[in-house]
Amino acid sequence: MNRKLKFFSDQINKAGVKSSVRPALQPEIDLEELEAKLGEHEHELLEMNTNSGTLRQTYNELLEFKLVLSKAGSILAASQNHATPADHELDEHIYDKEVDDGNGYLLEQGIHQGASESGVRFVSGIILKSKALAFERMLFRTTRGNMFFNEASAGEPVMDPSSGEEVEKTVFVVFFSGEQAKAKILRICASFGANCYPVPEEIVKQRQIFREGSSRLSDLEVTLDAGTQHRNKALESVGSQLWRWILMVKKEKAVYDTLNMLNFDVTKKCLVGEGWCPIFAKSQIEDVLQRATLHSNSQVGIIFHEMDTIDSPPTYFRTDKFTNAFQEIVDAYGVGRYEEINPAVYSVITFPFLFAVMFGDWGHGICLLLGALFLILREKKLSSQKLDSFTEMAFGGRYVILLMALFSIYCGLIYNEFFSVPFHIFGKSAYACRENSCSDAYTAGLVKVRDPYPFGVDPSWRGSRSELPFLNSLKMKMSILMGVSQMNLGILLSYFDAKFHKNALDISLFGYLSLLILIKWCTGSKADLYHVMIYMFLDPAGDLGENQLFWGQKELQILLLLLALVAVPWMLFPKPFILKKLHKERFQGHSYRFLGTSEMDPDSEPDSARSRHDDFNFGEVFVHQMIHSIEFVLGAVSNTASYLRLWALSLAHSELSTVFYEKLLLFAWGYDSLIFKLVGLIVFAFATAFILLGMESLSAFLHALRLHWVEFMNKFYHGDGYKFKPFSFATLADDEE
């Protein structure tokens, strides 16, 4: 039935017939009735296809015959020396003349290949243009040159009767003498796929045959049109029910596939199936099984029993339309283990926020917000439509885009950038000119005259000499703070995960640089943090001088350095030895086992109930722990440096936005011409839309994705589980969509 339904679908698509609106998903007929109905429709369509194919082939042959009759007639007329060109020029206008010699329908009587009184015969036909040269050479060699080959191009592509495709062809006429030559020529024509058609020498007969062919073509056109309409009606009738039939067959097939997973018990009297179900759905499943027992009038009820297993259960997270996209982002990295901490819970906030740090501009954020609101407000209509791949991807992540837009507006307000232009939104600037010193100054000679700007970057930094160093310092330190905070969150989650699974060996914290940054910002110190961090390792006991931020800093640095030196071997050596000891204690005395009996055949036990343990490989565990230790130590440095991409992309986005604003919009606005201003505005809008909102947003998205997958999730997330995929008819309908 699947084959028949696929055949119907292909025929509908080929004919270009539009199916009606899909009906309800519940089938109204049983499977046996559907199979008989599909067989009837298939037989009807196959018969119509056969008849249509035969008529179409005849129609194409008649078209070729008319073409051969026209071109070959001209060749024959030119070859007759006693005739004038005016009498024998064979074209469609001459054939339209009313000439009747009383011989009846010559096309039905059949015309043999021509032969003149001198014994010279000819064969006329049509062949593919690409084969004409090889065909002529083969004829020449076979007849040893005792033939004359003449050809004329068909002019326009011809529908081939056999393949039904439009191809370039050439009409030919071969003159020869003798029956043996004729037999050889006809065999060569057949081998080259040439179609031979009889053409009489008399022009009167040619005209009559031409008229008969034209009349028959007209009749065939009417017949073909009627057949096509009848076939389209049949396909429309099938198409209106095709979706329901496909879904019904899919459901039945899925049910039988699931039933095939069941096994007979030892008594061969009942079926046993093992599977997974969520704990919250256990009571619902028991109720459904009880109802199924009552409705089936079974004498034996269905037994639902929990069993112990050493297999790892599948992972299932209940999501809605808001959280589903974030869960898909995490699952793209790897499906979590059973009862492993789900990073999607934190990624709902951290992912769009890190995107916004790189994309911070509240003007661009408003544009993203409008796009997200458009997708959300039209989600009912869009969810019922067939979307292209890009629109479907954007629609699926509409709530991700919404949060990215909101956080971009927030970060843009912090950076005080609206399409790279600062605004005095939260009050006056903290800097101003002194009296009588710089009355017209904007970016130079400014001094601090009031409290700091309440929120975000002071607009006076815009255009000043120290704008770039200030923003570089700000964004770089923010990147380090965010990176260390997120990585520490990952390490903390790793601790909670290990504690939940009672794995005390996996518990480990760092962030001294972040502490120094916060102290420097809060105290206004001029300490060089580069100098502090470098000489913490090169000269731990040296004098800090002006780089001292707080009392006891030197002693704390020495303590942290010692802890770092101890932490590396502490992570590497104890765990493998402790695991080896635990393994020996766990399996001590398990070297012997009871002999089995005929009643207790171990092969009869299900796989999930068998206990097994492998020999402990100390070398493998040690190498594995060494790799993890090296990865963690190097990651503490490299992952922190990787978060500097937040600073780099934020700065690049800001500078590119400034270039577009100054070199496109302001440059065009400096002219008095309205057209020039309009062109500049259009170019600025397109550059902003395609480069800043398109390419830059995609770049920031990918970098935020990398920061979560590599720098954050590798601290605690294994991602080597597998999804819980329950049997569901709704899933079948979605797959068919």
Looking at this protein, which amino acid is placed at residue 268?
Answer: K
Pair of tokens at residue 54:
């035969």
Residues in the chain, pLDDT under 50:
21, 23-27, 81-113, 115-118, 439, 441, 504-511, 590-613
For the whole prediction, is pTM greater than 0.75?
no
- For residue 79, the model assigns a pLDDT of 66
Q: Give the integer Cα–Cα distance in Å for 316 and 336.
A: 9
State the CB neighbour count (10 A cutoff) for residue 484. Answer: 21
Contacts of 388 (CB under 8 A, 6+ apart): none
Distance between CA atoms of residues 651 and 641, nearest Å: 16
Query: 49 — phi, psi (to 5°)?
Result: -65, -40
- Token couple for 519: 């102290």
The length of the chain, given as a count of residues: 737
Interacting residues of 161 by C-beta distance below 8 A, sequence separation 6+: 57, 60, 61, 64, 195
* Residues contacting 275, CB < 8 A, separation 6+: none
Nearest to 216 by CA among 110, 125, 112, 108: 108
536, exposed or middle or buried, with CB in 10 Å at 0-12, 13-18, 19+? buried
Residues with Cβ within 8 Å of residue 372, at least 6 apart in sequence: 398, 399, 401, 402, 405
The pLDDT value given to residue 179: 84
Q: Which residues of 652-689 are buried (b: 16+ CB within 10 A; e: fewer)?
A: ebbebbbebbeebbeebeeeeeeeeeeebeeebeebbe
Rounded Cα distance, 536 and 288, in Å = 67
Q: What is the dihedral angle through the alpha carbons of 626, 627, 633, 634, rounded to the nearest 10 degrees?
A: 150
Q: Evaluate whether 396 touches 366 at the Cβ level (below 8 Å).
A: no
Helical segments of 397-511, H only: 398-415, 467-500
Sign of CA dihedral 272, 276, 277, 283: positive
Give the Å distances, CA to CA, from 353 to 349, 411, 485, 598.
6, 8, 13, 65
What span, in angstroms and rounded, lies between the C-alpha atoms of 507 and 519? 28
R_g of the chain computed on alpha carbons:
42
Q: Which residues make Cβ contacts (< 8 Å) with residue 482, sequence separation at least 6? A: 354, 357, 643, 646
State the pLDDT at residue 404: 95
Going by C-beta distance under 8 Å and a sequence separation of 6 or more, which residues neighbour residue 130?
168
Neighbours of 455 (CB within 10 A): 11
State residue 634's pLDDT score.
66
Residue labelled with tokens 């790279």 = 420
What pLDDT, on the 0 to 100 scale, is given for residue 602?
43
Whole-angstrom CA distances from 586 to 545, 591, 624 are 57, 11, 21
Query: If you write DSSP's letter for every residue of 143-192 in order, what string do you get?
Result: TTT--EEEEEE-SS-EE-TTT--EE-EEEEEEEE-SHHHHHHHHHHHHHT
